[in-house]
Amino acid sequence: MPDAVILLSGGLDSATTLSLAQEQGYTCHALSLDYGQRHKAELTAAKRIATAAGVAGYKIIHLGLDAVGGSALTDAGIAVPNQPGEGIPVTYVPARNTVFLALALGWAEVLGAWDLFIGVNAVDYSGYPDCRPEFIASFEKLARLATKGGVEGGEFHVHAPLIQLSKAEIIREGTRLGVDYTLTVSCYCADAEGRACGLCDACRLRAAGFREAGVPDPTRYRPTLAED
Amino acid sequence: MPDAVILLSGGLDSATTLSLAQEQGYTCHALSLDYGQRHKAELTAAKRIATAAGVAGYKIIHLGLDAVGGSALTDAGIAVPNQPGEGIPVTYVPARNTVFLALALGWAEVLGAWDLFIGVNAVDYSGYPDCRPEFIASFEKLARLATKGGVEGGEFHVHAPLIQLSKAEIIREGTRLGVDYTLTVSCYCADAEGRACGLCDACRLRAAGFREAGVPDPTRYRPTLAED
């Protein structure tokens, strides 16, 4: 079975992506990035998801994006909004998916893998530029020029199987595949135990997705911020 | 003056690139990556070069590429060769320049800069795929799709002013600009004080460059490995 590198954040989307890659017959190597994000619970979740999925390999790469800042996710001086806003939100991390895909590409080269999976989504994508199909296509071209494998004639493929799905469709797919969503953490400001705030963009999208999918929402919320 | 982010490794090429960017009138922000490279002296050198050049900003981003391995520069289990080899050498770090440019792009977004400088070289490039003009052009396209600034109509430019120069031409340019090459470290296996082995690919290219340029070689070699 061909090897693939899966970017695994610990959220609902990447857990579903991993499951889809396994369904397609790939031997999956999961990669998480510890990039100074506030929501460390995401990383704990990623490790649990990787273990539950029985991946062939799992790595966490440490990356000091907090040195750069510029995002509510990496800069303690910028608050995570608890109301919907307009335009590209402050939770956008500059060039994040470019960096993450580049790191996945590096590991793929070492493994001899030609397939990368990323759980980006252009429907509920919160306005992030690096979640669009044209970005993914452009990275795929770059990967072929950037690498030893590419120079030697190999072709990297960047799979973004969720890119055209709504959150509800993603949840239905994951439910079909038996993804345990209790293991996933989506909240941008989850507490150390992975309990969600229920207010941030990520929480709102996730809760609406479960409602629309008609799937019971297994998200654990903080007791002080109970759902209405 | 427009802002620019300069990738500064601490080697001869990136020091010259920084100086060229300053000559072109950019306000320079230098970025170094601590990526688990064996040759830590490179980072010390980068900081000294940045200080000497009077950059407007300097950052070191920590990046655990050693978790991925696959290169003699990041994996203690792979020896740095002391003889010329064929093909892409084992000192190639998978997807390194893709990762580095992505991080520079992230910082540029935070700064509001549209210009990135990288000291890659396609002449003496040691066979690295991510030092070729087609790679740089492809990254420039990606940058415009990957970012908030790009979505809003901005155009990133990736400058690689050394890409078509020989090592001797680079050294002549740097000498004209007053670059202090005693501050730079090129050796892949420099000791803690930055003294060069004189044997690895990087050392050979550098020494030949000074000879060909007719510029006295200021490189400090380890006493036990004196030049012939």
B26-50 residue pLDDT tens:
999 999 999 877 667 889 999 999 9
B188: pLDDT strictly greater than 90: no
Residue A132 pLDDT exceeds 70: yes
* Nearest chain B CA: its distance from A224 CA (Å): 35
CATH number of the domain that residue B9 is part of: 3.40.50.620
Q: What is the pLDDT of residue B149?
A: 82
Chain B, residues 122-151, CB within 8 A of chain A, namely 129-130, 132, 134-135, 138-139, 141-143, 145-148, 150-151
SS3 annotation, B149-194: HHHCCCCCEEECCCCCCCHHHHHHHHHHCCCCHHHCCCCCCCCCCC
Nearest by CB to residue B95, choosing from A65, A141, A147, is A147
Domain span at residue B113 reads 3-225
Residue A82 domain-assigned (yes or no): yes
Cα–Cα dist B79/B67, whole Å: 17
State mean pLDDT over A202-228.
84
B193 min Cα distance to partner chain A (Å):
26
Of the spans A150-154, A173-177, B124-128, which averages the highest pLDDT?
A: A173-177
| Mean pLDDT in residue range B196-203 | 86
3-state secondary structure of B32: strand
Closest CA to A53 of A29, A72, A75: A29
Q: Checking DSSP bridges between strand B115-117 and strand B3-7, what pairing results, if any?
A: parallel
Residue A139 exposure: Cα atoms within 13 Å on the Cβ side: 35
Contact present, B196 and B224 (Cβ < 8 Å):
no
The answer to whether A99 contacts chain B (CB < 8 Å) is yes
- Extract the tokens encoding A108: 């793929």
- Evaluate whether residue A203 is within a structural domain: no
E strands within A135-194? 157-159
**Cβ contact B105:B148 at 8 Å:** no
Task: Give mean pLDDT, residues B142-148.
Answer: 90
pLDDT-derived band at A80, boundaries 50, 70, 90: low
Would you state the pLDDT for residue B228? 46
B59 touching chain A per CB within 8 A? yes
CA distance B149 to A175: 37
Task: Please report whether residue A186 resides in a domain.
Answer: no
CA torsion sign, A104 to A108 to A111 to A114? Answer: positive
Which among A110, A129, A148 is the nearest to B69, CB-wise?
A: A110
pLDDT in tens, A28-47: 999 999 987 766 788 999 99
Show residues of chain A in contact with B138, CB under 8 Å.
138, 141-142, 145-146
Helix pair angle (B167-176, B201-213), 10° resolution:
60
The pLDDT value recorded for residue B226 is 47
- Count of the separate structural domains present in chain B: 1
Q: A185 lies in a domain? A: no
Residue B90: is its pLDDT beyond 70?
A: no
Q: Is residue A217 part of a domain?
A: no
- Mean pLDDT value of segment A79-99: 70
Report the pLDDT value the prediction gives residue A25, as an integer from 0 to 100. Answer: 98
In this structure, the strands spanning A3-7 and A27-34 are: parallel
**A86 pLDDT above the threshold of 70:** no
pLDDT at A53 over 90: yes
Residue A166 located in a structural domain? yes
pLDDT in tens, B73-88: 666 666 666 666 666 6
Residue A100 lies in a domain: yes
Q: How confident is the model at residue B168 (pLDDT cuts 50, 70, 90)?
A: very high
Output the pTM of the full model.
0.88
pLDDT tens for each residue of B13-24: 999 999 999 999
Taking an 8 Å cut-off on Cβ atoms, the answer to whether A59 and B67 are in contact is yes
Residue range B154-167: mean pLDDT, rounded: 94
Distance in angstroms (rounded) separating the CA atoms of residues B76 and B82: 15
Enumerate the residues of chain B whose CB falls inside 8 A of the CB of residue A63.
61-64
**Over residues A63-74, mean pLDDT:** 71
What is the reported pLDDT for B148?
Answer: 82
Which residue reads 């000291």 in tokens? B119
Q: Percent of chain A, pLDDT > 90? A: 57
Residue A90: the pLDDT is 63
Residue A14 has pLDDT above 60, yes or no: yes
* Average pLDDT over all residues of chain A: 87
Question: Cβ of B78 under 8 Å from any chain A Cβ?
Answer: no
Closest-CA distance of chain B to residue A35, Å: 9
Three-class DSSP category at A131: helix
pLDDT at B101: 95
pLDDT given for residue A219 in this prediction: 93
Q: What is the pLDDT of residue B224?
A: 62
Element spanning B142, H or E: helix B133-146
Lowest mean pLDDT among A172-181, B40-49, B208-217: B40-49
Q: Is residue A129 in some structural domain?
A: yes
Query: In whole angstroms, how large is the CA radius of gyration of chain A?
Result: 17
